[in-house]
Homo-oligomer: A and B are copies of this chain.
Amino acid sequence: MAQLGENGYGKSRVRLVKVSRREGRHELRDLTVSIRLEGDFEEAHVRGDNRDVLPTDTMKNTVYALARQIEIDAIEDFARALATHFPPENPVVNRARVTVREQAWNRIPVGGRAHPHAFVRGSDELDVATVTAEGDDVRVESGIDELRVLKTTGSGFEGYPRNRYTTLRETSDRVLATAMRVRWTYGLSEISHSEIRTRAREIMLETFADHDSRSVQHTAYAMGEAVLERCPEIDAIAFSLPNKHHLLVDLAPFGLDNPNEIFVATEEPYGLIEAIVRR
């Protein structure tokens, strides 16, 4: 006999652009929101009884309506407002999880000054916040997606095990490139998520730049250690780091050397290194 196991549902990719029209200067927030509710939805699945199924269309409307009523500062706060909105209003819901992603826009400089209402797109890097509300328990996770970095030296990969399928050559000097997906959680509440985000990002970039990397794993751990050391509010940080291989082109057939200068950037296959660093 069949029975319902874990389940949940919601609305994904709700695209919200909010313009706050302050005097002489507009603020622009470009957000994408996803909502997921969990709870006792057995009647809906088994019998097709929708009496407890809040439509995902209503979730979408709620995003827009709350965005109008709430001042959006840190994306963590907006995610929290949404996540804690749903359970009290929907008795069968026992857990709500909301993710907010933000796309950065920079003010266009005109005559040396940042323009009050015209913007040019930043990088594809996305700020991310996920808030999970379950009864009185509210957990916040912050992060960044697509933080793309590359260093042209200060990275090697040597001393690894060899077997009959090994062809890779050891190198003490290679290009290291990745598109970081990072997530961190907090040991404290009552904190400024925006300020910690700025600091954590800066520490990761600086560590990536200055670290004498012996592997992607080595760099991941070094970044995590540095963040934990200098961000006491953070209690754990998780990295997912695709190794975007840059292969040295063999120019010898053309009578040319290649002193770590000419590379082909490849998309697939890629290494994928994942690690959590905790206190």
Contacts and interface: CB of A to CB of B under 8 A. Distances in A.
Interface string A263-275: 1111111111111
Given A64-B251, A175-B19, A209-B110, A120 B105 contact: no
A54 to B, nearest CB: 6
Contact of A65 (B2, B55, B69, B256): B256
Contacts of A14: 268-269
A34 B149 CA distance: 23
Interface stretch (A20-28, A134-142, A192-200): A20-28
A247 to B, nearest CB: 10
Interface size class of A (residues with CB under 8 A): 35 or more
Contacts of A41: 217
A118 B151 contact: yes
A190 interface: no
B217 A1 contact: no
Given A118-B150, A121-B148, A267 B268 contact: yes
Given A20-B261, A157-B50, A205-B108, A26 B62 contact: no
B5 A276 contact: yes
B265 A48 contact: no
Contacts of A213: 48
Interface string A89-110: 1100000000000000100111
B149 A62 contact: no
Given A154-B117, A251-B64, A277 B4 contact: yes
A53 interface: yes
